[in-house]
């Protein structure tokens, strides 16, 4: 179907809902403000201007995510309460489903960075594994933190065969501490066989502290793959053994004509891994694989056997100046990546979008609905004791501090003073987010910890 702006939504569908077929930025907007972006509404087959669509299925803390996915009707949204869940899901039948984390326990507030949903693969298998043969899968991952993926194909895998079609969308997803059993796959892996195709759309993805390539794509026997990656960070993928540790690796492995991969990357930081930022190769006499990048921070790139690489405007190769290059991938004030991107439709805080997953000075996604203007925290930056005032605290309250990966590092309950003092001296240097819950609602504030 015609898609003039190549945003993953056909022109006719965009016209039906009053979107602009020539403006790719509207893919990442939310027409009906239901926390399901326009692109995701299309993938699910839902009604883009009706907040009651798609149908939702809620999984509370301790619930069974596997059962929810297996029992979901086509096009449903599975919302998962914040918390940590062990998960090794395997799907062998066609699915059209969205899996969304970051919800509070009443499913009235959504923020995957301050109320994270963490899925733990226990280093035993993939966290999500889908096989499709001759059919179609449409999967949307939103607001999830995936840790300890340990399958043959890493944390997320799609195996496509016999003319299958895989449509994958990811937004606000973090993948960490993953080591695939195969040295040559990746944290996110898609393999294609016998005329299968895929279309992958990714925004605000962080892959870090892993021991295999961030993204791995393989096409064979007349298969085709298309990737669009924006506002993402892939870094600190290090392995001292023989595993491939590229940011993105693409292989077209046979001589069949029209076996190819196409990738377009914008506003990304992909660097400081054991191997190149991007590695692409054609196999045999297969032609047509291509890569394009603009407004990105890459170090080395490798394109061989006829792969066409088109570097566009705004490309740099510079230290991104992370808060902590091995743990905290927010940008510091000196970063050359601040305001160095281009508008792709995602929220941004400065004169222009930043490169990478996190906008400088923000939590990482749209603001939480809260009344933080009523609350004052000081000193900020803080070394030892953090004070909070501005809201009367009763014995019905909770305060917790999350690191940038969403882990709760400090927690206090039932504080009955109007100006609590919190000892944060044992926290490591870096950026943290303090969440205050009381009778006035939920407030989230950013704090910097110094030595």
User: Residue 392: is its pLDDT beyond 80?
Assistant: no
Phi-psi region of 306 (alpha: psi -120 to 50; beta: other; left: phi over 0): left
Q: Would you say 434 and 449 are in contact if contact means Cβ atoms under 8 Å apart?
A: no
List, for residues 292-339, the tens digit of each pLDDT value: 999 999 999 999 888 889 999 999 999 999 988 988 899 988 999 999
The closest of 31, 34, 403, 7 to 230, measured between CA atoms, is 7
**What pairing do the DSSP bridges indicate for beta strands 96-103 and 136-147?**
parallel
What is the predicted pLDDT for the residue at 287?
62
Over residues 12-19, mean pLDDT: 96
Over residues 221-246, mean pLDDT: 90
Q: How far apart are CA 401 and CA 434, in angstroms?
A: 4
What is the predicted pLDDT for the residue at 370?
36
User: Residue 75: is its pLDDT beyond 70?
Assistant: yes
CA distances from 354 to 214, 329, 384 (A): 21, 13, 31
Kindly give, in sequence order, each residue whose CB lies less than 8 Å from that of residue 106, ignoring residues fewer than 6 positions away.
none
Q: Would you say 154 and 129 are in contact if contact means Cβ atoms under 8 Å apart?
A: no
Over residues 238-247, mean pLDDT: 85
What is the predicted pLDDT for the residue at 368?
33
Give the confidence band of 366 by pLDDT, cuts at 50, 70, 90.
very low
Write out the two tokens for 109: 């507030």
Give the confidence band of 399 by pLDDT, cuts at 50, 70, 90.
confident
Chain centre to alpha carbon of residue 357: 8
List, for residues 102-129, the tens digit of each pLDDT value: 999 999 999 998 889 999 999 999 999 9
Q: Domains of the chain by range and CATH? A: 55-331 (2.160.20), 372-449 (2.60.40.3080)
Over residues 44-54, mean pLDDT: 96
Residue 22's Cβ-count burial label (10 Å; 0-12, 13-18, 19+) is: exposed
Q: Would you say 315 and 296 are in contact if contact means Cβ atoms under 8 Å apart?
A: yes
User: Residue 364: is its pLDDT beyond 50?
Assistant: no
What is the predicted pLDDT for the residue at 435?
78
- Among the residue ranges 76-85, 265-274, 372-381, the one predicted with the least confidence is 372-381
When comparing pLDDT for 268 and 252, which is higher? 268
Q: Would you say 70 and 93 are in contact if contact means Cβ atoms under 8 Å apart?
A: no
List, for residues 405-442, the tens digit of each pLDDT value: 667 899 888 777 767 889 999 998 887 878 777 665 55
What is the predicted pLDDT for the residue at 254?
66
When comparing pLDDT for 70 and 260, which is higher? 70
User: Residue 154: is its pLDDT beyond 80?
Assistant: yes
List, for residues 183-226, the tens digit of each pLDDT value: 889 999 999 988 899 999 999 999 999 999 999 999 988 889 99
417 DSSP β-pair partners: none
| Average pLDDT score over the chain | 88
Please report, rounded to a whole number, the percentage of residues in the chain having pLDDT higher than 90.
65
What is the predicted pLDDT for the residue at 431?
76
Please report, rounded to a whole number, the percentage of residues in the chain having pLDDT higher than 70.
91
User: Residue 397: is its pLDDT beyond 80?
Assistant: no
- Among the residue ranges 141-145, 250-254, 437-441, the one predicted with the least confidence is 437-441
Q: Would you say 30 and 41 are in contact if contact means Cβ atoms under 8 Å apart?
A: no
């Amino acid at each position: 179907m015609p898609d003039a702006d190549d945003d993953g939504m056909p022109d006719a569908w965009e016209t039906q809902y009053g979107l602009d077929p020539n403006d790719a930025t509207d893919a990442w907007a939310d027409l009906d403000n239901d926390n399901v972006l326009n692109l995701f509404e299309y993938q699910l087959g839902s009604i883009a201007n009706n907040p009651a669509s798609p149908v939702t299925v809620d999984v509370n803390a301790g619930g069974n995510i596997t059962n929810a996915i297996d029992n979901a009707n086509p096009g449903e949204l599975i919302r998962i309460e914040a918390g940590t869940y062990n998960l090794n899901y395997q799907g062998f039948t066609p699915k059209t489903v969205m899996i969304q984390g970051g919800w509070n326990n009443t499913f009235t507030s959504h923020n995957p960075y301050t109320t994270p949903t963490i899925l733990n693969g226990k280093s035993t298998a993939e966290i999500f594994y889908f096989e499709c043969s001759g059919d179609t899968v449409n999967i949307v991952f939103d607001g999830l933190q995936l840790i300890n993926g340990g399958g043959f194909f890493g944390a997320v895998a799609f195996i496509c065969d016999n003319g299958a079609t895989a449509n994958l969308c990811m937004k606000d997803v973090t993948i960490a501490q993953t080591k695939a059993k195969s040295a040559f796959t990746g944290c996110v892996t898609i393999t294609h066989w016998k005329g299968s195709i895929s279309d992958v759309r990714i925004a605000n993805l962080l892959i870090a502290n892993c021991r295999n390539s961030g993204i791995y794509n393989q096409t064979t026997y007349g298969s085709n793959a298309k990737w669009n990656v924006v506002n993402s960070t892939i870094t600190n993928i290090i392995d001292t053994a023989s595993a491939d540790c590229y940011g993105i690796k693409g292989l077209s492995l046979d001589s069949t004509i029209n076996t190819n991969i196409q990738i377009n990357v914008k506003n990304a930081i992909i660097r400081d891994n054991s191997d190149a930022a991007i590695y692409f190769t054609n196999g045999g006499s297969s032609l047509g694989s291509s890569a394009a990048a603009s407004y990105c921070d890459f170090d080395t790139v490798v394109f061989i056997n006829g792969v066409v690489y088109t570097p566009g405007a705004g490309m740099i190769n510079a230290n991104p100046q992370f808060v902590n290059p091995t743990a905290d991938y927010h940008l510091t004030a000196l970063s050359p990546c601040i305001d160095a991107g281009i508008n792709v439709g995602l929220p941004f805080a400065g004169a222009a979008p930043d490169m990478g997953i996190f906008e400088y000075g923000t939590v990482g996604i749209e603001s939480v609905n809260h009344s933080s203007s009523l609350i004052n925290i000081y000193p900020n930056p803080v070394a030892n004791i953090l004070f909070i005032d501005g809201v009367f605290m009763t014995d019905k309250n909770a305060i917790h501090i999350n690191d940038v990966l969403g882990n709760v590092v400090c927690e206090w309950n039932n504080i009955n003073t109007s100006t609590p003092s919190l000892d944060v001296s044992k926290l490591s240097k870096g950026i943290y987010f303090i969440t205050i819950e009381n009778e006035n609602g939920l407030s989230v504030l950013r704090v910097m910890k110094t030595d």
